[in-house]
Structure 1
Amino acid sequence: MRSKRLFKFTLSKIVRYLVLVFISSTLLLDKLFGKPWKVRKPIFIVGHLRSGTTFLHRFMCDNCVNLKGMRLLDMLCPSITAQKILAPLIPLVNKISLDHVYNPKIHRTQLSLPETDDIAIHFRYGEGILSWVYFNSWQKYSSTEDLQNSVFQSANQEKFIHYLHLIHRNRIHEFSQRMISKSFFAIFNIETILKTFPEAKIVVLLRDPLQAVPSLMSLEKNVQIKLYDFDSQDENDKARFFQNLYSMSIFYYQYLAKIISDHQYRSNLTLVKYDDLKDNFKDTILRIMDHCDLESELGVLQAIETQMHQQASYTTEHKYQLADFGLNTEQLQKDFDFIYPWLESDAHINSSY
């Protein structure tokens, strides 16, 4: 079974390489014949996987007319040249279903929907948090420090932010709009973001690890079942996979806590708790918009009211238990005890605390 998984890993890398060749060649044509375009006051949504980043990102892309995010198709074809080449095929491409990869009850996606920029980083460099979760989480690590170094090296690279600058610039080149990026890896690149974009506004989402960590494991197990026959893998390999995801999550939350505790980022960052976004949507989204210098136009205000009423009766179809992944409440709360003061506090980064 390991050889079968290795074959599929290799096949996925070949596909990524072919996409990379297309991306690189068309971006080169953009550089030769395109005009420079300056990105102003970008917005970055960051957080641990399964923290509500997708929901917030898509809501803002759909309803804030001054914002432009990256669709999955834009990440596969980020150059202006590629978009022109593929323009006649767009109606056909948009019909392609990705339900064979992601269970829509857990995460709904298609080529025409805004997605996490980690996908763009994966196809360009084969790195980033999402890439680490899919591939490196199967590996054996000599120590916790070794695993943390692997995560950090996969996520903390200055070139990632410069690449996002390039491809988002292509996305907004014909419009007077601001870029909005959503990613997991960017928490490790805050310094580079602010060096590249001093006016950037960063929204950090924080969810209770009791919810986010098993939700991540459930999602990734589902993906691995569909892509790599997870249920047929060796039991020790599966146990290591979940343990590595758990260790990665601890490290991610530790780094996130370090960032939100650093006063030098106060004017650029705002902290948003998942429960506030879910249970107090209107006030929370208006606070986010105020932080990001977005106007409260009639259309977005109506969308906020509609969403607020929808959330009152919303129940998730994504079901999982801590025990499914060898977890229990006591151990998880102990391992993540450093983050709970932030979850229990009413303070926000860009206000007194």
Structure 2
Amino acid sequence: MVNLLTKAGLKTGLLDEPVLDRDILMDRARRIAGSDDFGDPWFVGPLDKLLESLRGEALLHDAGSLVAMKQIEKVLVDRLWAEQWFAAHPEIEARPLRNPVVIVGPMRTGTTRLHRLLSADERFTHMRSFETISPVPRPGFEPGSHDPRVDLAKRIRTVANLSNPRTLSIHPTGPMEPEEELGLLVNSFWGMKHEAQWYVPTYGRWCEQEDAAPAYRQMARLLQLVGWSQQASSLKPWVLKTPQHMMDLPALLTVFPQARFIFTHRDPVQVVASSASLAWNQTCIYSDHADPAKVGKEWLRKVSVQVERMREGRELVPADRRIDVHFEDVDADWRAAMRRIYDFLDLDIERAWPAMETYVARAAALKRKPHRYSLAEFGLTQRQVTSELADYIAAYGVSRERNAATG
């Protein structure tokens, strides 16, 4: 229905013809923002590869192409606005980013649950959903005033639910809910968010060979901007998480050398099935040719690469700054798991219990239908997954779950 409406809008001239050309999109962004300083030009490389994959592999329908164009245009405008903020308020980049706590694990390993439990503690600073969608305040914003980015996040959530109601079952959220900093990496056109939204394997493989440090330096600057816009104390450590960090631990450690890490683990049969389902439920929104078998094959490969990179990168982290947490342990007794994490962080957990209990109650109300999935939907078998990831299962004592039907 959305695609038919888009076709009608294009035919009548009510909508702009989708254009996925870097120079045209950058020129449009310059006109909207009234400036031409995009900051570090490193982002052009990832952007070019993304556009190449979108044109050649994603098989977007008209509505999908229009969304891609608008999304990229918005990120470019955000980059221009960000540089305006940094120029007008040099104190932003002077804000320290001390000892962040970083949750690192594949999609669907309980990273969101741990992130939101920690975010409930007022001793940490965290991103909110509307900020990862739009990390840069609009010109004229004043800290403490009404923020139109919240309204935009509400509209996007409504459209996402109409386009595919399953997306909010897979990842329940709301504009003010704690959310991962994925949008700060998207600001450099970097990372797996694009691979989960569109079928762009060439782009993904290109990113796997590149040094991500410039994207993480930009992420750090945007964290400073978000903290400033929140009027959050710069003495509080950030609690961060996104599966992308599995791929980029050397870059993350270069930018955040004192980070502390919580590594999450889960039965890879569940991880691969659930990751493929999440990606499929995104790609089918934007293309009429989304192939579940191709999605499944790609995400089995991607999870394997993630695990390999994580295992290599964690060796750079001193043993006293990392802890391993298993999904089934949190499922069985989240309070015991959180106490263990707080002991690792050398923090008193007692004062955090009321806020965590409040979050758990709110999460239960926010949760929609269970996320149901299976490997068979994506042309995969348990034998394939366990064979591919046997070393990981053995090295970390990962327990096999009884079924791979829900998550």
| TM-score of the two chains, using structure 2 as the length reference | 0.71
AA matched with 1:128: G
- Whether 1:193 aligns to 2:256 is no
SS in 2 for 1:204: strand
Which residue identity lines up with residue 302 of structure 1 in the other structure? P
Deviations 1:283-327 (Å, cap 9, x if unpaired)?
2112222333443242x2234567789999x99711222222222
Give the partner amino acid of 1:99: N
In the TM superposition, residue 157 of structure 1 has moved relative to its aligned partner by 0.6
CA distance in 1, matches of 2:189, 2:204: 18
Is the 8 Å Cα contact of residues 51 and 274 (structure 1) preserved in structure 2? yes
1:351 match: none
Specify which of 362, 370, 382 is matched with residue 317 of structure 1: 370
Number of residue pairs the alignment of both structures matches? 328
Q: Paired residue for 1:276?
A: 329
Unmatched 5+ stretches in structure 1: 142-146, 347-353
Asked if the contact 2:111–2:241 (Cα under 8 Å) also holds between the matched residues in 1, the reply is yes
Is residue 247–residue 309 contact of structure 2 (8 Å, CA) maintained in 1? yes
Select the residue among 161, 171, 191 that pairs with 1:128.
191
Deviation, structure 1 residue 215: 0.8
CA deviation string 1:119-177 (max 9, x = no partner): 3322x122202212333x454x7xxxxx98435137x5101211221111122232222
Alignment check: 8 A CA contact 2:101 2:259 kept = yes
CA deviation profile, 1:206-256 (whole Å, cap 9, x unmatched): 111111110111122222233323xxx27xx44223211211111112222
Q: CA RMSD in A?
A: 3.3
Residue 181 of structure 2 aligns to which amino acid in structure 1?
Answer: D
Amino acid at match of 1:14: M
**Residue in 2 aligned with 1:40?**
98
Q: For residues 55-134 of structure 1, what are the structure 2 equivalents within 5 Å?
A: 55-61=113-119, 63-79=120-136, 82=139, 84=141, 87=146, 89=148, 92-93=151-152, 95-96=154-155, 97=158, 98-100=160-162, 101=164, 103-122=167-186, 124-134=187-197
Contact 2:297 2:380 in 1 (8 A): no
Measure the CA separation in 2 of the matches of 1:311 and 1:77: 23
TM alignment of 1:241-256, pairs within 5 A? 241-256=295-310
The answer to whether the Cα contact below 8 Å between 2:266 and 2:326 also exists between their aligned partners in 1 is: yes
Confirm or deny that 1:301 pairs with 2:353. yes
Determine the structure 1 residue equivalent to 2:27: none
Q: Which residue is 1:150 aligned to?
A: 206
Does the CA-based 8 Å contact 1:40-1:178 persist in structure 2?
Answer: yes
2:45 maps to what in 1?
Answer: none
Q: Within 2, Cα distance between the matches of 1:4 and 1:332?
A: 27
- By how many angstroms is 1:39 displaced? 1.1
Quickly say closer, same or farther: Cα 1:151–1:27, change in 2 above 3 A.
closer
Structure 2 residue matching 1:166: 3-state secondary structure: helix
Any conservation in 1 of the 2:125–2:239 contact (CA below 8 Å)?
A: yes
Query: Which residue, out of 259, 264, 267, partners 1:208?
Result: 267
Seen in structure 2, the aligned counterparts of structure 1 residues 67 and 82 have a Cα distance that, compared at 3 Å, is farther
| Post-superposition offset of 1:279 | 1.2
Over 3 Å counting, the alpha-carbon distance change for 1:52 and 1:82 in structure 2 is farther
Distance 1:14 1:315 in 2: 31
Deviates further, 250-259 or 97-106:
97-106
Distance 2:168 2:313 in 1: 32
Residue 218 (structure 2) aligned to one of 148, 155, 163: 163
* Aligned position for 1:350: none
Deviation at 1:37, TM superposition (A): 1.0
Q: Indicate the percent of aligned positions where both proteins have the same amino acid.
A: 19
Bigger relative contact order, structure 1 or 2 (CA pairs below 8 A, ≥6 apart):
1
1:246–1:82 distance in 2 versus 1, CA, 3 Å: farther
Q: Work out the CA distance in 2 between the residues paired with 1:276 and 1:331.
A: 25
| Residue 328 (structure 1) aligns with | 381
Assess if the C-alpha contact under 8 Å between 1:282 and 1:304 holds in 2: no
Kindly provide the amino acid, as one letter, of the partner of residue 23 in structure 1. D
Task: Return closer, same or farther for 1:330/1:132 CA change in 2, 3 Å cut-off.
Answer: same
SS at match of 1:203: strand
> Matched residues in 1 for 2:395 and 2:381: separation?
21
